Every structure is written in C-alpha cells, then in structure tokens.
Amino acid sequence: MAVQLTNGMRSGRTQRNFLFLLSLTLSCQCFVGALAAPAEADKDSEDISASIFRYKAAIEANPSNPTNRLKLAKAYLMGGELDNAVSEFRAALKLNPDDAESFMGLSRAYARKGDIKQACDNIKEAVRLAPNQSQYHLKYAQLLSRDNKLDQAIQEFKSAIKLNGKDANAHRDYGACLGLKGDIEGQVLEEKKALSLDDKNADAHFYLGSAYAQQGKKKDAYGALKRCTELDKKNADAFRLLAGISASDGDFKEALNFAEMAVSLNPDNKAYVATRDKIKSKMASSK
C-alpha cells in the first residue's frame, strides 16, 4: 500500500514514533462497509417470530405465492435463521426466477454466513436483473472489496455513484476501497464527499482519519478519529489509532487511555492488547 509522508520526517525518536503510528494505521486497514450487522437485527424477537408464523400460515394457504415466500425469507433473515432464509429465498426464486430482490436476499444471507463467493454470485444476478438499482451495485462492490477484488469493486462503486451520487455510504466505501489500492488522496476526496452528504457518518470519519494518518497529517487524523469515536463509541480501531497518534506525540498517558478503551471493547483482540502493552513499555522506558 502506498504511503505518503508529508510532514517532513525527521530522524530519531520522531521517526520511530511516527513509524509506530504508521504500523497501527496499516494494521487497521480493512474494508468494513459490508460487515455491519443489519439494522433489522435489533428488532424485537417476538415481532419477528410473529411475522414468521403469519407468513408460514399464508404459504400453507397459498404455496404458489412467491411474495409470501420472499416475506418469510426476509423474516428468517431478520431473525438470524440463515439456513431457513436461504431455503425460502430459493423457494421464492423457483416461483419467480427473475426476482432481483430474492437474489439480493440470498446474497445478504450468504454474506452473514461468511460465504462471500455465494454472496457475490447472487448479488451479481440481482445487478444483472436490475441494472439501474444503485443499492445492488453498492452491495456487490462492498462484497468484492471484502473478497479483495478491488479493481472489480471500484467499477461497481462507480456504477452505484453514477446512479445515485448522493449516497454517502457509496462515497465512503469507494474511498475505503481506493485506500486499499494505495490511492490515499483519492480516499480522502471520497470520504470528504461522504461527509458533505452525511456529517454524522462515523465510518467515513474513521476512514478519513486513517487516511490522514497514513499521510502523516496527525492533527487532521486525530480530529477525524475523535469525531468518529464521539459518533460511534464502540469503534475499537479508532481508539487504537488515536492511541498511536498520542504515543507518536509523546503523550503516553492519553495514548494509554485510548488503548485501554480499545481493549475494553474487545479484550480478546491480540492486536489491541499488544498496542496497549507497547505503550506501557514506552511509558516505562521514558521515565
């Protein structure tokens, strides 16, 4: 990944501290746009169970109705019953083979099961059947990014943005993909576009902060990452990068506080623990 050092790197402690920050930044580079749990996951389980019961009854009364199959599949997906969701989406497609929404649902179910190949195959069909749906292109691009097929992902992001240029998430995730390709300036530009459309987009602030950190713009990175943690208090990677920035400036007390926040959010993450322990070691050696 290309890295730009724009702050005039100096030798000695300054350079070592910056390299410590840079190592954290690069280790945090990953695509998360398609990983977020769907909002439906927070729905009341009793409502979901009632929906499942209602749609199953409707199917018993009229088994050849693809709409009820699709609704049942979505209810299973919302309830986290992924195997049942896959089964019902497929049943819906047997009744209506050209239903892009059913292919989209299958893609979401497989993505949550961790089967990215199947997820990509199915969303590709949704795109083929409904080429003017920007959200299908966006989902396909996100999945391709997760599968590290970045050149293909970039083309799908461009298609999504061409269809809907006001989608902040499309600009956000396109920027993240550019960053993974090493185009840090392009990433910064797209994250800024995302934030111009939605200034409370926590992940866009995170991606912008990580890009600034790679450019050596620590003050800008700090501001973006702090804003991210104000909007999303559970972004452990943002706290870890803030720890790196503070440590690179020699403020080990603040760095340790940030590192402890990351560990508290995910105590089993070895990278977070290692960052905290390295900062503790630096604090001890600086006394």
Q: How many CA atoms lie within 13 A of 43 on its CB side?
A: 18
Could you tell me the mean pLDDT of each successive run of 10 residues in the chain, 287 residues long? 35 50 56 46 69 86 90 93 96 96 97 96 98 98 96 98 98 96 97 98 96 94 98 96 92 95 96 93 81
Of 279, 230, 226, nearest in space to 252 by CA: 279
The model carries a pTM of: 0.84
Look at residue 10 in the predicted model and tell me its pLDDT: 36
Look at residue 194 in the predicted model and tell me its pLDDT: 98
Q: What is the sign of the dihedral through the CA atoms of 124, 39, 95 and 87?
A: positive
DSSP state for residue 262 in the 8-state scheme: H
Q: Which amino acid is at 234?
A: K
Q: Are 213 and 222 in contact (CB under 8 A)?
A: no
User: Quick check: helix, strand or coil at residue 182?
Assistant: coil
Sequence-separated (6 or more) residues with CB below 8 Å from residue 49: 79
